[in-house]
């Protein structure tokens, strides 16, 4: 495969993709800006694990800095890019839109432009199931209309797909967009429900159950996502421009999800039933026919199994999760 550039290598998905590639002997250049959307200590802990590999090169930089991006490509000459760096979070985009403008638009353009200029073989990037917006047809298929995003985060992810299309159309840069569906697992993101709900349950704090618990999500375990990303980096069955869903293909209602967390925590949640949150969608459900055909993608981890692994990891890493909790409380 050659040298792979991974942006967001200290993030949840980027970390696991980097680990897999490093384990198989690939050289990985990992970029992250270690921002404070959640505690940087979690990101640095992930990066410390990657530093154990001699074929890993960590770079602390921001993709908004165009000259830094140019210097990175000039120095390391990557052949393939996996772009997972982004400002995440639907709800955060309601409060801090400029973070999404900078990371998800400016950063994306700086990176894909340099990929074009240097003749990158393949540009794989993280999109999101959020682009489907309020679509009611289930499951979501890649050819469904996606012109009505219900959050700024979703709009920036759809913009990435459109920008990628123009780079493929005008300059023959192969671009592969992967629409991820609610990824979870050990070393995950503290802003996601599986983490924040477990934390609240263990500390006897109430959790807000939006849309009165009627939301459904296609929870997808991290191992499945990694297998899909690696296949997207390597597969010879991909067109010059691709959009592909990566999901579990099994949506679960929020109340069932909470009950599983309760069973593993050994405690009942204090539930505060509330109306829908602005920007949220009622359900996500991935049609994975294209991923199965082109990436040999096949989810195998049921939610019960995946959540049990996450809870075990959480309980085994008390010092780290305590730092995450303290950071969250200090930055409310």
- Residue 195 confidence (pLDDT) above 90: yes
pLDDT digits (tens, 9 = 90+) for 236-270: 999 999 999 999 999 999 999 999 999 999 999 99
**DSSP string covering 101-168:** IIIIIIHHHHHHHHHHHTT-SEEEEEEEGGGGTT--SSSB-TTS-----SSHHHHHHHHHHHHHHHHH
At residue 18, the pLDDT reads: 98
103 occurs within a structural domain = yes
Q: Do you find a cis peptide bond into 111, omega within 30 degrees of 0?
A: no
- Residue 281 confidence (pLDDT) above 90: no
pLDDT digits (tens, 9 = 90+) for 87-135: 998 878 888 999 999 999 999 999 999 999 999 999 999 999 999 998 8
Question: Could you say which DSSP state residue 9 is in?
Answer: T
Percent of the chain with pLDDT over 70: 100
pLDDT digits (tens, 9 = 90+) for 179-188: 999 999 999 9
308 occurs within a structural domain = no
pLDDT digits (tens, 9 = 90+) for 62-88: 999 999 999 999 999 999 999 999 999
245 occurs within a structural domain = yes
Task: State pTM to two decimals.
Answer: 0.96
Cβ-contact 218, 181 below 8 angstroms: yes
Q: Domain total for the chain?
A: 1
317 occurs within a structural domain = no
CATH of the domain at 136: 3.40.50.720
Residue 7 phi, psi dihedral angles, 5° rounding:
-90, 150
pLDDT digits (tens, 9 = 90+) for 11-57: 999 999 999 999 999 999 999 999 999 999 999 999 999 999 999 99
65 occurs within a structural domain = yes
At residue 118, the pLDDT reads: 97
Residues 246 and 290: their CA atoms lie apart, in Å, by 9
Say which of 153, 221, 241, 285 is annotated catalytic. 153
312 occurs within a structural domain = no
At residue 105, the pLDDT reads: 98
Domain that holds residue 173: 4-182+221-249+284-300
Scanning the structure block, which residue is given the tokens 């797909």?
A: 161
The band of 332, judged by pLDDT with boundaries at 50, 70 and 90, is confident
Scanning the structure block, which residue is given the tokens 């709900």?
A: 197
153 in active site: yes
273 occurs within a structural domain = no
Give me the half-sphere count of Cα atoms (radius 13 Å) on the Cβ side of residue 331.
Answer: 13
187 occurs within a structural domain = no
């Amino acid at each position: 495969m050659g040298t792979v550039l991974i942006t967001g290598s200290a993030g949840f998905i980027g970390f696991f993709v980097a680990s897999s590639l490093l384990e198989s002997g690939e050289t990985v250049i990992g970029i992250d800006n270690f921002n404070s959307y959640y505690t940087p200590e979690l990101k640095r802990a992930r990066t410390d694990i990657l530093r154990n590999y001699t074929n890993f090169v960590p770079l602390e930089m921001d993709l908004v800095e165009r000259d830094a991006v140019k210097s990175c490509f000039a120095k390391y000459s990557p052949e393939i890019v996996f772009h997972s760096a982004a400002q995440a979070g639907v709800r955060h985009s309601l409060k801090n839109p400029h973070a999404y403008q900078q990371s998800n638009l400016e950063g994306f353009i700086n990176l894909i432009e340099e990929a074009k200029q240097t003749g990158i073989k393949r540009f794989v990037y993280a999109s999101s199931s959020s682009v489907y917006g309020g679509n009611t047809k289930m499951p979501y298929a890649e050819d469904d209309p996606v012109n009505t995003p219900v959050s700024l985060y979703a709009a920036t992810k759809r913009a990435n797909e459109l920008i990628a299309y123009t780079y493929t159309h005008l300059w023959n840069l192969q671009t592969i967009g992967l629409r991820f569906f609610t990824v979870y697992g050990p070393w995950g993101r503290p802003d996601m429900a599986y983490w924040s709900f477990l934390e609240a349950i263990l500390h006897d704090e109430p959790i807000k159950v939006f849309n009165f618990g009627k939301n459904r999500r296609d929870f997808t375990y991290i191992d499945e996502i990694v297998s899909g990303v690696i296949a997207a980096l390597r597969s010879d069955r991909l067109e010059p421009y691709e959009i592909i869903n990566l999901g579990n293909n099994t949506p679960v209602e929020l109340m069932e999800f909470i009950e599983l967390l309760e069973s593993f925590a050994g405690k009942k949640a204090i539930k505060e039933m509330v109306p829908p949150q602005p920007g949220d969608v009622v359900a996500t459900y991935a049609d994975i026919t294209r991923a199965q055909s082109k990436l040999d993608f096949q989810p195998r981890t049921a939610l019960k199994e995946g959540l049990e692994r996450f809870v075990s990891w959480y309980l085994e890493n008390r010092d780290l999760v305590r730092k995450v909790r303290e950071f969250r409380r200090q930055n409310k």
